[in-house]
Amino acid sequence: MNKHITSSSTGLRNVCPFAAKTRSKVANITPRGELGVMCLRYEVYMTTPYNMTFACMGCRKSFKREFNLAKECPPELVCPNCGGTSYNFGRHFKSPKKTDSKQWKKVEFLFEHGFRFQKIRIGSGHHDVVPYPETLEQAKEFVIKYKKYSLNEE
């Protein structure tokens, strides 16, 4: 079953949060096998490469790698700093300073609950994007309110 999704539709957010839409492109999305993690669930045919942000919770460093979403979208990579696991937070993630432990706790909390800083679109317009919380307390409310947009939800 193929779905054709244009830049004006909002269905792409539920299919693959890291598959960005472009104004002039059409994405063909084909489900493959069991539900996995992030983009690995789908074959996304797009020709434009994107810079994906990866963050290591151990050493609190982030880095970007360019990927063509039609070919690959790994959920994790080896951290070039400490050798630990760094996780894919998508294109829109802005990492906090290494010394900002409160913000890193918030990032870890959101990550554990399936939020990788993918855009959450509500309403009928494609510009209706929910802002991510600024504090851990707000993140706790956010996780409850937007649970259906979590990548952990199946």
pLDDT tens digit string along 104-128? 999 999 999 999 998 888 877 777 8
Q: Which domain holds residue 130?
A: 3-149
Say if residue 42 is exposed, middle or buried (CB neighbours under 10 Å; 0-12, 13-18, 19+). Answer: buried
Say if residue 76 is exposed, middle or buried (CB neighbours under 10 Å; 0-12, 13-18, 19+). Answer: middle
Domain count, the chain: 1
Flag whether 154 is in a domain. no
Q: CB atoms < 10 A from the CB of 9, how many?
A: 14
Q: 139 or 154, which is more confident?
A: 139
C-alpha closest to that of 107 among 53, 50, 38, 36:
53
Say if residue 24 is exposed, middle or buried (CB neighbours under 10 Å; 0-12, 13-18, 19+). Answer: exposed
State yes or no: pLDDT of 23 exceeds 50.
no
Flag whether 81 is in a domain. yes
State yes or no: pLDDT of 13 exceeds 70.
no
